[in-house]
Amino acid sequence: MILQTAQVSRFAELPDADSIFGCTPKMREVRIKVEAAIDEDRLVLIEGENGTGKEVVARYIHLHSQRATDPFVRVNCAAVSAGFLDLELFGFGSGRGEPRRNTAAINPRRGGTAFFDEIGEMDLAVQQELVELIDARQSCDRGSRCRIVCSSSVNLDRAMLERRVTESLVSRLNHRVSLVPLRERKQDIPMLCEYLLGRAAQNYGRPVPQLSSLHLDRLREMDWPGNIRELENWIARVVIFGLETVNELEPGQKTVPEGNRLRRHRAFLAPVGVRRRSRRPG
């Protein structure tokens, strides 16, 4: 899906600021940058590994801006083709100045937020269109009130050297917010678990499981390569199947050898009833 439009009612599920930013010093710095971007209406690039919550932060920016009552539109950059910004996102005729049906519900003169997800995957020709749109924001022409927020899970400076991203685009996204991977903010795991458990229990109509201090200690021992998204998936499994059905690391197991890390990590997340078949010598 190229476009995903979210109206204001969908933001009722957005976490509060404490759940998003946590209490670690690095995430407090992230919050300061985000608040500055909201107040000054800056173009924003949200960087971070997959699963760190880039879209959540983008929606937080939208909800706390003057455009909160206007649409939030997520654009899947990997699926965008040339001419997309004019014809689809804003509904302008190509080269004729004739308005077309606004399929994404963003009226450039009223406002809204366009969230370009993973701009490192955007076609070079479309990147140039985005640059033109950014330059038009200060004029009375199209896009003058549209907020632009971008995200990337790859290093754009490196991608620029590899000619996968244009320098003109990277130079315009000068307000960067770098999200911290979960392994570097493990102090926030109890707070994240509390929020995710409550939301999952509500979604699935189940009681909220109570994690013990031992559970939380073991969660803090994990690397979480999938970041908050992986933790969220584990929480959902706990709510559905119950804590007693979830495998755990052996007591006291803090350091996992590199060769066994992925296997042990998956065992921790998998239900007890799931067992690997042992290989018999053949």
Q: Which CATH number does the domain housing residue 36 bear?
A: 3.40.50.300
Tell me the pLDDT tens digit for each residue of 228-282: 999 999 999 899 988 877 654 333 333 333 344 444 444 444 443 333 444 444 4
Tell me the pLDDT tens digit for each residue of 34-88: 999 997 777 899 999 999 999 999 999 999 998 888 888 888 998 888 777 766 6
Is 168 in the same domain as 207? no
Residue with the two structure tokens 């559970």: 215
Is 14 in the same domain as 90? yes
| Of 178, 137, 126, the residue nearest 157 (C-alpha) | 178
Helix (H) or strand (E) holding 74: strand 72-76
At residue 132, the pLDDT reads 84
- Are residues 56 and 14 in contact, defined by beta-carbon separation less than 8 angstroms? yes
Q: Look up the pTM and report it.
A: 0.79
Query: Please, what's the largest Cα pairwise distance for the chain?
Result: 75
Distance CA 186, CA 271 (A): 23
* For residue 2, pLDDT beyond 80: no
Distance CA 76, CA 55 (A): 12
- Which of 152, 180, 208 terminates a domain? The answer is 180
Residue with the two structure tokens 């038009």: 136
DSSP 111: B
Is 255 in the same domain as 116? no
143 backbone φψ class: left, alpha, beta (φ>0; ψ -120 to 50): left
- Which of 148, 180, 212 terminates a domain? The answer is 180
- Are residues 249 and 268 in contact, defined by beta-carbon separation less than 8 angstroms? yes
247 domain-assigned: yes
At residue 232, the pLDDT reads 93
276 domain-assigned: no
If 0-12 CB within 10 Å is exposed, 13-18 middle and 19+ buried, where does residue 171 land? exposed
Residue with the two structure tokens 């004029």: 139
Mean pLDDT of the chain: 78
281 domain-assigned: no
Is 224 in the same domain as 158? no
- Are residues 88 and 132 in contact, defined by beta-carbon separation less than 8 angstroms? no
277 domain-assigned: no
Query: 135 lies in which domain range?
Result: 3-180
Total domains present in the chain: 2
- Which of 121, 153, 180 terminates a domain? The answer is 180
> SS3 string of 185-198?
CHHHHHHHHHHHHH
